Amino acid sequence: MRFLSIVLCLFVYFPVFAQNQDSIPLSPAEMKEALEQELIALKADVLPQFPGGPRNMEAWLFNNLNVPYFDLREDTIVSVYVDFTVEHTGYVTGTKIRYPSSFKQLDKEILAMFSRMPKWKPGFLNGKPVDLNLTIPLNVQLGNSMRKPYNMPTPEVSRLPQYNGGGKALAYFIKSNMKYPKEAKSAGISGAVTVEFLILANGRVDRTATIGNAIGYGLEEEATRIVEKMPKWIPAELDGKKVSSKHQLIIRFELPK
């Protein structure tokens, strides 16, 4: 399965807290008004809080959401309203998508992410911890998957991205995951394929594409598959902050002796 063949930009708005859950789709304005009314109706002296506060929650959501591959010709923003309960014990339960989107696999991945969420600080009412139903609206930006990485501007970085374990670990990963295309093997074809891709700020590989003259015989497809299968990298840094950056990798195909 191909993950993150699109750019993920996750924007987390302030948490909106809900006592009632609605399954009827509303317009964006109606959804906002409904959530504001639910916030007013909420009875709690102290609201639940993600460990470390909103900034930590934003970072956790960004780093833990696996975005499936979608064939998209236009940049698309998907608004997802996630209902869940923070129990008096701090555990997150009862997660559901309030308004299911047309991107069913994305909804599924968001639910899976919430199932891994750490314990919160529970809400309090009259000095006692209580169960509270919450809603968080997320905007997930799905980029144009047809766009090539060399058409994507990336900033100069102060530290280049690195594969976990270094060059030897990267070479081992490529060797152990390579499946020499049968068509190329039968025709006696070998060569080197250059793959250009993005390494996102969360370390995931995105938007792979081969560059240079094509060899064919399935070599470009196999090189792309290997790169897309890679685990997270150590991302580039700019002024001490993790940023997305382009990277190139040459994958050599040598006929088995």
Q: What is the mean pLDDT of each run of 10 residues along the chain (257 residues)?
A: 33 40 54 58 75 84 76 76 91 90 86 93 87 84 58 57 87 92 89 89 86 85 91 85 85 85
CA angle, 78 then 96 then 134, to 5°: 95
The amino acid that residue 242 corresponds to is K
Backbone angles phi, psi at 253, to 5 degrees: -110, 115
SS3 (DSSP) at 89 = coil
Q: How many helices (H) and strands (E) does the chain have?
A: 6, 11
Residue among 169, 154, 175, 190 nearest 226 (CA): 175
Report the 10 Å Cβ neighbour count for 58. Answer: 15
User: What are the φ and ψ backbone dihedral angles of 192, each rounded to 5 degrees?
Assistant: -120, 135
pLDDT number for residue 45: 75
Output the pTM of the full model. Answer: 0.49
Residue 73 DSSP symbol: S
Query: Which tokens hold the place of 236?
Result: 């580039």
- The three-point CA angle 16-117-201 to 5° equals 90
Residue 37, token pair as written in the block = 């009314």
Report how far residue 24's alpha carbon sits from residue 248's, in angstroms, rounded to the nearest whole number. 47
Residue 223: its H or E element: helix 219-228
What's the rounded Cα separation, in Å, for the pair 51 and 178?
41
Position 91 scores a pLDDT of: 95
Domain boundaries, the chain: 8-142, 149-253
Q: For residue 222, what is the enclosing H or E element?
A: helix 219-228
Please give the pLDDT value at position 29. 66
Q: Residue 98 carries which DSSP code? A: S
Task: Tell me the CATH number of domain 149-253, given options 3.40.50.11140, 3.40.47.10, 3.30.2420.10, 3.40.50.2300.
Answer: 3.30.2420.10
How far is residue 167's CA from residue 71's CA, in Å, rounded to a whole number?
Answer: 32
